Amino acid sequence: MSETTPLIAHDGPIRWGIVGTGNIAKIFARDMPLAANAELLAVGSRSQEKADAFGDMFNVPRRYDSYEGIANDPDIDVVYVATPHPMHHDITIQLLNAGKNVLCEKPLAMNVAETREMIEAARTNNRFFMEAIWTRFRPAMVKVREFLADGSVGDVQYMTTTMGWNNPFDADFRLFNKALGGSALLDAGIYAVQMVQMVLGKPVEMVSVATLGETGVDENCMITTRHEGGAVATPVSLCVRAVAICA
Ligand SMILES: NC(=O)c1ccc[n+]([C@@H]2O[C@H](COP(=O)([O-])OP(=O)(O)OC[C@H]3O[C@@H](n4cnc5c(N)ncnc54)[C@H](OP(=O)(O)O)[C@@H]3O)[C@@H](O)[C@H]2O)c1
């Protein structure tokens, strides 16, 4: 893509493709009709059967039995990547190199090195690329940013943010399965971390503790951060096997 190639090169609704047919892909497809100027054109799955079932469920006209099918479809403008986290990196880079814009599920990748490569691919191809941190768009968060910008909350000195789920243990379930990116921090904690970053920016110092469960996955994790100017935050305390207690 050259620097002048427009992100969307046609009039009419933005044409979406989805990669993966799991839980969040279904919610995304269900809600697509609520978005103005958008059309769900295609779905890609590792199996034709699943692509067809998804297509029937959400009225998606093009169904591919591979993710490459989405990358190679010239009519798709932007792709929503909804696979487990360890699979985000490769497919996202493939899509960006094929000229697609990409909205990738959180967390973008498994580590910083993968994330940098994805960002580099977006820059090289001059494509839109975003992590699907939907909480940033909630009206309450928009209001928080307004309050921060107009100074009405003053100079923030301390923040605590908590995100957690109460899932029964299942070694095969994505949250507890290392091969599928299992991790309380990677699945839930990133919401708390990003909120601290939204308010206080990047930390200058950080320490953390976590409990590793029987599959070697962090089932909770608490981070303490210090920020320029002296503010501190505890941008997590999250869990996948317990109910959070706030005091
Ligand atoms: N924004 C949110 O609120 C939110 C909520 C939940 C999850 N998420 C994120 O969305 C992503 C997917 O989560 P999910 O709960 O939808 O997961 P899921 O139900 O397990 O679905 C993941 C899909 O990815 C595809 N896939 C590709 N390689 C796979 C593999 N090796 N094992 C299993 N599935 C594989 C499968 O689709 P095919 O078989 O059709 O290829 C599968 O249906 C994760 O990164 C998660 O963090 C975001």
| Residue ranges of domains in the chain, CATH in brackets | 14-132 (3.40.50.720), 147-239 (3.30.360.10)
CA distances from 88 to 30, 180, 203 (A): 22, 11, 26
In this prediction the pTM is: 0.95
Residue nearest to atom 37 of ligand 1 (CA): 20
d(CA 123, CA 155): 34
45 lines ligand 1 (CB under 6 A): yes
Pick the atom of ligand 1 nearest to 46's CA: 41
Which of 24, 31, 185, 238 should be mutated for ligand 1, with most atoms under 8 A from CB?
24
21 lines ligand 1 (CB under 6 A): yes
Cα(105) to ligand 1 centroid in Å equals 9
26 lines ligand 1 (CB under 6 A): no
Concatenated DSSP letters for 83-112? S-GGGHHHHHHHHHHTT-EEEEPSSS-SSH
pLDDT for residue 5: 81
d(CA 117, CA 73): 23
55 touches 49 (CB < 8 A) = no
d(CA 95, CA 79): 8
- Cα angle 44, 82, 103 (rounded to 5 degrees) comes to 100
SS (H, E, C) 25-71: HHHHHHHHHHCCCEEEEEEECCCHHHHHHHHHHHCCCEEECCHHHHH
Could you give the angle at which helices 190-200 and 139-150 cross, rounded to 10 degrees? Answer: 30
Which of 18, 19, 21, 23 should be mutated for ligand 1, with most atoms under 8 A from CB?
23
pLDDT tens for the chain, 247 residues: list them.
767 788 998 999 999 999 999 999 999 999 999 999 999 999 999 999 999 999 999 999 999 999 999 999 999 999 999 999 999 999 999 999 999 999 999 999 999 999 999 999 999 999 999 999 999 999 999 999 999 999 999 999 999 998 888 888 899 999 999 999 999 999 999 999 999 999 999 999 999 999 999 999 999 999 999 999 999 999 775 666 555 555 4
Under DSSP, is residue 177 helix (H, G, I), strand (E, B) or coil? coil
d(CA 92, CA 71): 9
